[in-house]
Amino acid sequence: MVKHLPYRYRDHSRIAAEASLAARDQGKFREMHLLLLDRSPKLDRGSLIGYAKELKLDVPRFTKDLDTMRHQPELDRDLKLADTLGLYNTPTIFINGVKFLGDRPIEEYRTAIDRELQAAGTGGKNR
Amino acid sequence: MSRRALPPLLLCALLAGAILLPSASFPAEPVSPAALAPLPPPPSPPENPTTPEKVELGKKLFFDRRLSGDGTMNCATCHDPENGFTDALATSLSYPTTRNWRNSPGLVNVAYRKRLFHDGRATSLEEQALFPMMSPFEMNRNLDYLEEVLKTVPAYVEAFQAVFGGEITRQRVAMAISAFERTLLSRDTPLDRHLRGETGALSSRQRAGLDLFLGKAGCATCHNGPNLADDRFHNLGVPEDPKAKEDPRVLATARFVGKVSGFPEYRTLREDPGRFLITKDPADWKAISTPSLREVAATAPYMHNGALGTLQEVIDFYDRGGGDDPMKSPVLRPLGLSREEKESLREFLATGLSGKIPEMRAPVIP
């Protein structure tokens, strides 16, 4: 599950989060998410619409979602949740309740997942 | 690289935590067990005596995100109590859009350190505490501004008045945080109990590891005294991180540190000069402070840049005689440890030096 925490001091963090959610509504959240990471810091409105074209999204619909900030209530809910949980850094990742702060090597997540699976046992019988 | 004397370093990075086993003056003879000792009570410096009220204030500041420029980081971000007071990363977390270049050390028993940071540029916790706050790639907080921010918080104004009898200053912020850090202790490890004469405190395997630590493996040459550190600096030939050299943000950090340290060729700096940045003594080129080995199992990855991920990798590194740096300590040489000996040494490091790391939750921040 992904929650959003657009960094308040970056010009385009909020609109980039909107773009990922607008892409999600067209079934391409992950594709847009990876593209945003790859193309950062080019995250202005024009660039985002260009990425929507690249991903063959319905661009008029995507653009309208951006311009009307259609997902503002959802983003505000995520921000409130982060505040409630005392989270201020991105990424913050939870694996079975274990917190991982900051950008980390993929091996660290793999190890954590394997450890949790092992602790849970087959079919989670140890939980 | 210039080797002439230059002005001392003024700024930068995070205090550090590498692992150092054998050293520059490798012993021909085993080190006496008397080179080790149980940890005494922590110091309480006369210029900043530890009091419960000061510790409580320092704990709040340690966890207060106001200490960072964008309000996203506090001291615990990189010194997380749930990770042995480190961030468990090879190179430490950094201010948004920047990259750090050194490893975040654990803080348990930091009260006993005589020099702080991997390059030893601070000689007291009070001196150390302000560096990460003002470092642009760490917390990036202007200290004049920080003082004014904290003065807008009535509870802090009252607390500083009660603890210090005066207003909020950056020096008092550092003093309070230092007092808190001096309470982060682990003084009851199997080694401590063994050194106090408790029979059976060490298992047979831990005991074999201790014998190697004092003898064949040569660890105690540098890792000695109550805190298992000689508070000196050594070039072990730890490899640079090749990926870091390709990241322009890491290069910017390295060059910035070189620049503020008076390193003439800072624009082409592509490696960590270590203690040389401070002393400008050629003998200190790439020399790094000896860390304590207490609670070492909780502070992976190891070395000043996190180059080694596990204790096993550290032991293998020393068994090979250290790294390939032509200027590394000349007395490092292959140890010839057997698999069994390596395992005994690992067991001693991992469990014989582990007690109870202080557990804590973030306090309520005013």
Structural domains of chain B ordered from first start: 1-366 (1.10.760.10)
Q: B271 or A65, which is more confident?
A: A65
- Chain B residue nearest residue A103, CA to CA: B93
Domain ranges, residue A100: 92-124
| A62 within domain boundaries | yes
Residue B33 has a pLDDT of: 67
pLDDT tens string, chain B, 366 residues long: the values are 433 333 333 233 333 334 444 444 444 456 776 689 999 999 999 999 999 999 999 999 999 999 999 999 999 999 999 999 999 999 999 999 899 999 999 999 999 999 999 999 999 999 999 999 999 999 999 999 999 999 999 999 999 999 999 999 999 999 999 999 999 999 999 999 999 999 999 999 999 999 999 999 999 989 999 999 999 999 999 999 887 778 999 999 999 999 999 999 999 888 899 999 999 999 999 999 999 999 999 999 999 999 999 999 999 999 999 999 988 987 788 999 999 999 999 999 999 999 999 999 899 999
From the number of C-beta atoms within 10 Å of its C-beta (0-12, 13-18, 19+), residue B232 rates as middle
- Answer yes or no: do A45 and A107 share one domain: no
- Chain A residue nearest residue B69, CA to CA: A9
| A4 within domain boundaries | no
**Residue B118 neighbours by CB under 8 Å, 6+ apart:** B13, B15, B16, B17, B18, B102, B103, B105, B274, B288, B289, B304
Contact A101 B71 (CB under 8 A): no
Residue B359 has a pLDDT of: 92
- Answer yes or no: do A57 and A97 share one domain: no
Chain A environment of B93 (Cβ under 8 Å): 89, 101-102
| A96 within domain boundaries | yes
| A1 within domain boundaries | no
Confidence of residue A125 (pLDDT cuts 50, 70, 90): low
**Residue A100 neighbours by CB under 8 Å, 6+ apart:** A92, A93, A94, A108, A109, A112
Whole-angstrom Cα distance, residue B126 to residue B180?
11
Whole-angstrom Cα distance, residue B174 to residue B161?
15
Contact B89 A104 (CB under 8 A): yes
Q: What is the pLDDT of residues A83-123, one digit of tens each?
A: 999 899 899 999 999 999 998 989 999 999 999 999 888 77
- Answer yes or no: do A22 and A64 share one domain: yes
- Answer yes or no: do A43 and A79 share one domain: yes
Whole-angstrom Cα distance, residue B243 to residue B299?
22
Give ipTM to 2 decimals: 0.77
Whole-angstrom Cα distance, residue A12 to residue A66?
12
Residue B2 has a pLDDT of: 38
Residue A120 has a pLDDT of: 86
Whole-angstrom Cα distance, residue B114 to residue B176?
18
B289: enclosing H helix or E strand: strand B288-289
Q: What is the interface size between A and B, counted as CB pairs within 8 Å?
A: 27
Whole-angstrom Cα distance, residue B255 to residue B249?
10
Contact B146, B66 (CB under 8 A): yes
Residue B215 has a pLDDT of: 93
| A120 within domain boundaries | yes
Whole-angstrom Cα distance, residue B224 to residue A78?
50
| A48 within domain boundaries | yes
Contact A89 B72 (CB under 8 A): yes
How many domains does chain A fold into? Answer: 2
Whole-angstrom Cα distance, residue B34 to residue B20?
20
Residue B142 has a pLDDT of: 97
| A8 within domain boundaries | no
